[in-house]
Amino acid sequence: MTPGQLDRGTFRRVLRGVYADPALHVDHELVARAAALVMPPDAALAGRSAALWWGGRTAGARDPVRVVVPSASAWRGPRGVMVHRTDLRPGDVVEKEEGIRVTTMERTAWDVAALEKVKDAVACLDAMAFAGELTDQALRRVAGSATGRWGSRRVRRALSLVDGRAQSPPESWVRVACHVAGLPAPVPQFVVIEGGAFLGKVDLAWPEARLIVEYEGPHHFDAARIEEDDARYAALRAAGWRVIRLANADLRDLDVVVERIRAALRRGGS
């Protein structure tokens, strides 16, 4: 790499002092890998940044990379890195790849639950559970270690909402919003069978109220997928199910989403 190449934009700056091939997709993992190159040897990626290596791929490219350092460390990190000073025990850090030091799965789960908003924490922990990394036994160990520790109430609350059946952050966000609002808990990834016929697997369902909530990401809007979804929803409605369809814009106001669900549950007699 030469100064001329940097001036001409041959490489993309990821963090101060770290550059990457501009053909690489800029996501949270790329920025976390850049942070791993410049952080001191006694530091480790943590929280949702470490969760990338434990199946929790929920942090966005613009979310700050979380790094933990020993309490006495003076390292501040470049812009785009959020440094947490804490006491790291010898068993709290592992090297997942050469040069990539991350907190252990259980320490990562704790930090995610303690540091993130509850909806984001649960989404990340759900993903770790879905990936098979955050097992029921590990959940119990993390929850059992909470007594007397800072953030224990937040941690227990987030852990109590984890469901490894969820397959996307929006599913987790809606489920958490319903819980906070006092609504009955939906069943994630519910399989709908009517008269022996498989009608589909849906994101969230309240079977007793025959209510379904489906999140439709960008991949749902190509012509073939739209036709397929319309046919599936028509079959569900013909079988007596009501369907609430959510897109990205709906997730900007989860209170409105919750009220739509609440009204539908009332009409269903739940």
The domain spans of the chain are 3-160, 169-267
151-169 pLDDT, tens digit per residue, is 889 999 999 999 999 999 9
Inform me whether the pLDDT recorded for 270 exceeds 50. Answer: no
Going by C-beta distance under 8 Å and a sequence separation of 6 or more, which residues neighbour residue 256?
250
Inform me whether the pLDDT recorded for 5 exceeds 80. Answer: no
What's the whole-model pTM score?
A: 0.89
Per-residue pLDDT at 267: 87
57-83 pLDDT, tens digit per residue, is 999 999 999 999 999 999 999 999 999
Looking at residues 192-204, what average pLDDT do you find?
A: 94
Mean per-residue pLDDT over the chain, rounded: 91
Going by DSSP bridges, is the β-strand pair 211-215/242-246 parallel, antiparallel, or unpaired?
A: parallel
Running DSSP on this structure, what letter comes out for residue 89?
P
Inform me whether the pLDDT recorded for 269 exceeds 70. Answer: no
In CATH, the number for domain 169-267 is: 3.40.960.10
Residue 191, classed as helix, strand or coil, is strand
Inform me whether the pLDDT recorded for 19 exceeds 50. Answer: yes
Cα dihedral 111→114→120→122 (10° resolution): 90
Running DSSP on this structure, what letter comes out for residue 24?
S
Per-residue pLDDT at 219: 58
Per-residue pLDDT at 227: 79
